[in-house]
């Protein structure tokens, strides 16, 4: 029965797997991420960070300092270099720690500190931190991808995010401190996303209904909403920040700890990415977005409800700003009036690095999420290399231009092949 196994392979018209993988728009982004991560890991391996952590030992145990000959010494009577072993004695059982693994022994608090070397990049809390920082604007970038594919623009996302956060914070603050997450999370989600949705709806219907370019409408909305974000807490609370949420909302949900990291915003980002990809690739609505972005006049002649689709895309983007703001509230436990300042540029940068064309008709959600991660990786690189964070903007700006030039060159080469 081996004939089937050895049957000659039917010549497939599909190119080999690797080639197909490379043809994907996102492959370049993944490659960049892998390269940056590899570089940082290698650099981190050469320049590890040394940290100390307290060794947990049983109650009532004693620390005994032994020299090379095994003689016990009192703390302070023996030089650090002479100590060969730190022995933890608890009743009859002894645990020995060789001196080179011990950072120091603090006799005043009676704590023994273990020496650990850590790769500053490749450790789970740094990795989650990088993706977490990316997630807040990556969630918005999912919506912005739709806007950019439409050949539109939304400059108000940062302000929508700020306003949603402030209004959501006001609602959360009004809840009793012992409210369970089952109430607090839906309340916050509904409030934040309603504010975001309404702002997005306003953007979309004004630009479609009045026939004004979305750049102008969202520029105006950016200022109006930011103004509201500052004025509202000032009028009602006389403060720049609103905090004091039920803990079930913060550490109980959005900053819940799993295995020593706080992954909830990252999980939300991944979910948004998957849903966004599905909607753009697999639903009629998604393909209509591409059609309108590719040729708006033709879309009209093909009977596509151009205005409705556009309004919906701006509305969804607003709703995603609200969702992101809600995650921000839960993670940081407070809303600042400058929350999301200049986010619009980071969000647009993420979508553009992710391969979206400002001319419309082209872009992917997964690319935008990867773009957001690349932006945060660049930030992380500067931190790891201990470059002053003021240089962030310069590097970011250069990265955007380089990414777009590379993408366009790739397009041109592909066009020439075709």
Partner 1 sequence: MSDTTPNLIATGISKRFGNTQALDDVSVSFLPGEVHALMGENGAGKSTLGKVLAGLHAQNTGTVLLNGRELIPGSLDDAFHAGVRIVHQELAQCPNLSVAENLCLHDIPTKGITVNFAEMERRAKTLVHQLDPSIDVSKPLGFLSPGRRQICQIAASLDKNPDGSMIAKVIVLDEPTSSLSISEASVLMDIARDLASQGLSIIYVSHRMSEIFTCCDRVTILRDGKFVATNIVSEIDEPTLVEQMIGRRIETPTAKANGSKQSIETQALKAEIGTADHTPVSHSGDPRLVIRNVSSPGKLDDCSLDLYPGEVLGIGGLVGAGRSELFDAIFNIDTRAKGSVKVDGDEILGKGIRGAIDAGVGLGYVPEDRRIQGLFFNLGIDENIIAPIMNRMASSIGIRDRAAELETVRRRIGRFQIKTASLSQTTPGELSGGNQQKLLIARWMTQHTKVLLLDEPTRGIDVGTKAEIYKLIREAADSGLSILLVSSEMPELLALSDRILVMGDGQIKGELTGNEMTQTKILTLATQEKAHALI
Buried b (16+ CB within 10 A) or exposed e, 393-402: eeebeebbee
211 binds partner 1 per the rule CB under 8 A? no
Among 121, 161, 254, 290, binds partner 1 (CB under 8 A): 290
Residue 52 bridge partners (DSSP): 115
Contact mark string toward partner 1, 233..272, x via CB under 8 A: ----------------------------------------
Window of 106-114, 222-230, 269-277, 295-303 that interacts with partner 1 by CB under 8 A: 295-303
The nearest distance, CB 289 to partner 1, in angstroms, is: 11
| Dihedral (Cα; 179, 258, 244, 242), 10-degree rounding | -120
Closer residue to partner 1, CB minimum distance, 233 or 293: 293
Q: Which of residues 116-175 bind partner 1 (CB under 8 A)?
A: none
How many angstroms separate the CA atoms of 21 and 24, rounded? 6
Site for partner 1 in 23-82 (CB under 8 A): none
Going residue by residue from 269 to 288, which x/- string records binding to partner 1, judged by CB under 8 A?
-------------xxxx-xx
Stretch of residues binding partner 1 (CB under 8 A), selected from 90-98, 119-127, 298-306, 378-386:
298-306
Helix (H) or strand (E) holding 152: none
Q: What are 22's two structure tokens?
A: 């490379």
Q: Does residue 14 bind partner 1 (CB under 8 A)?
A: no
Angle, helices 214-237 vs 181-209, to 10°: value is 140
Q: Could you say which of 291, 339, 375, 396 contacts partner 1 (CB under 8 A)?
A: 291
Q: Which is nearer to partner 1, 259 or 301 (CB)?
A: 301
CB nearer to partner 1: pick between 162 and 361: 361
392 is a contact residue toward partner 1 (CB under 8 A): no
Q: Coil, strand or helix: which one is 254?
A: helix
Of 146, 293, 330, 340, which lies in the binding site for partner 1, with binding defined by CB under 8 A?
293
- Which residue from 132, 226, 310, 362 is in contact with partner 1, where contact means CB under 8 A? 362
Residue with Cβ nearer partner 1 (300 or 410):
300
Token pair for residue 176?
């009793």
Instruction: Tell me if 298 contacts partner 1 by CB under 8 A.
Output: yes
Look at the block and give the residue holding tokens 């913060």.
250
Nearest 5°: phi and psi at 67? -90, -175
Close Cβ partners of 66 (under 8 Å, ≥ 6 residues apart): 72, 73, 83, 84, 85, 86, 87, 96
Angstrom distances, CA of residue 114 to CA of 56, 64, 66: 10, 15, 17
Give least dist CB 372 to partner 1, A. Answer: 23
Closest distance of CB 417 from partner 1, Å: 11
DSSP symbol at 81 = G
Q: Which run of H or of E encompasses 115? A: strand 111-118
Contact 152, 376 (CB under 8 A): no
Of 300, 397, 405, 413, which one interacts with partner 1 (CB under 8 A)?
A: 300
Any residues with CB less than 8 A from the CB of 401 and at least 6 apart, and which? none
Asked whether position 22 contacts partner 1 by CB under 8 A, the answer is no
Nearer Cβ to partner 1, position 291 or 369? 291
Q: What is the CA radius of gyration of the chain?
A: 27
- Selected from 361, 366, 368, 380, the binder of partner 1 by CB under 8 A is 361
Binding site residues, partner 1, CB under 8 A: 282-285, 287-288, 290-291, 293-295, 297-305, 361-362, 418
């Amino acid at each position: 029965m081996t004939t089937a196994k050895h049957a000659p392979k039917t010549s497939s018209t599909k190119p080999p797997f690797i080639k197909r993988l490379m043809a994907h728009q996102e492959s370049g982004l993944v490659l960049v991420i892998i390269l940056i991560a590899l570089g940082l890991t290698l650099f981190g391996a050469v320049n590890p960070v040394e940290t100390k952590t307290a060794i947990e030992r049983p109650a009532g145990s004693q620390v005994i300092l032994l020299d090379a000959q095994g003689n016990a010494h009192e703390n302070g009577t023996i030089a650090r270099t002479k100590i060969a072993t730190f022995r933890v004695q608890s009743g009859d059982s002894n645990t020995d720690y060789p001196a080179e693994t011990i950072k120091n022994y603090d006799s005043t608090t009676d704590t023994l500190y273990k020496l650990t070397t850590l790769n500053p990049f490749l450790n789970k809390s740094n990795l989650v931190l990088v993706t977490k920082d990316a997630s807040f604007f990556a969630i918005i970038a999912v919506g912005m991808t739709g806007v950019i594919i439409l050949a539109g623009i939304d400059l108000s996302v940062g302000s929508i995010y700020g306003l949603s956060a402030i209004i959501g914070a006001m609602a959360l603050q009004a809840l009793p401190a012992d409210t369970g997450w089952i109430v607090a999370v839906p309340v916050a989600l509904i409030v934040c996303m309603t504010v975001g949705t309404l702002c997005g709806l306003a953007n979309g219907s004004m630009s479609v209904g009045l026939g004004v370019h979305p750049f102008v409408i969202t520029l105006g909305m950016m200022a109006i909403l930011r103004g509201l974000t500052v004025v509202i807490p000032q009028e009602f609370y006389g403060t720049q920040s609103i905090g004091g949420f039920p803990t079930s909302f913060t550490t109980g949900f959005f900053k819940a700890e799993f295995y020593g990291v706080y992954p909830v915003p990252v999980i939300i980002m991944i979910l948004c990415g998957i849903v966004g990809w599905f909607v753009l690739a697999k639903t009629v609505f998604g393909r209509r977005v591409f059609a309108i972005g590719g040729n708006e006049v033709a879309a009209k002649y093909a009977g596509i409800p151009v205005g409705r689709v556009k309004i919906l895309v701006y509305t969804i983007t607003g709703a995603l700003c609200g969702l992101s703001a809600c995650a921000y509230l839960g993670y940081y436990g407070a809303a600042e009036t400058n929350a999301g300042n200049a986010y619009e540029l980071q969000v647009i940068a993420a979508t553009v690095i992710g391969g979206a064309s400002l001319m419309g008709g082209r872009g992917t959600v997964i690319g935008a999420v990867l773009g957001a991660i690349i932006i945060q990786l660049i930030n992380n690189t500067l931190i790891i290399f201990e470059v002053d964070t003021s240089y962030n903007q310069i590097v970011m700006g250069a990265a955007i231009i380089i990414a777009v030039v590379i993408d366009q060159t790739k397009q041109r080469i592909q066009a020439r092949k075709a």
